[in-house]
Amino acid sequence: MAEAVVYPEIGPGCTLTGGVWWSYYDEREVTPAGALDIDHMVPLAEAWDSGASAWTAARREAYANDQGQPASLVAVTARSNRSKADQDPAEWLPPAPDALCRYGAEWTATKLRWGLAVDEAEKDRLLDIAAGCGGTDVEFTPAP
């Protein structure tokens, strides 16, 4: 609900009524809530390939449900989330040019938070993004 620009009413069974959300990947206001997907900033398959395959089941579950860092799970349009699928920044970036700095920082923060590896193509793309993002900080808290 962090992406809500107009907060919805929460009814019985956690049903949402009203509300407007901002999908920063494609710079769109979204309503109703059902038009959103919750995106794992670093997709589960990418996390697996980057080191999560060696984790315990409990750590993988903690990663999949991480609410300790706002950037780990992001509400975005279903279209942008499905377009991204399990790709890393070398293969997919948000369609909105103004989203690149935030996306690069949040991707990097998530990888650092969980101690996940970065491959060469991914690193090169992240460095390319960062080169145009003067003043953008990467903030994270190591995962428990």
pLDDT tens-digit map of 69-104: 999 999 999 999 999 999 999 999 999 999 999 999
Residue (of 65, 63, 74) closest to 3 by Cα position = 74
Model pTM? 0.92
Q: How many helices (H) and strands (E) does the chain have?
A: 5, 7
Q: Which tens digit of pLDDT belongs to each residue from 26-66? A: 999 998 888 999 999 999 999 999 999 999 999 999 999 99
Q: Which two tokens stand for residue 134?
A: 């003067």
Hey, what are 44's tokens? 């589960």
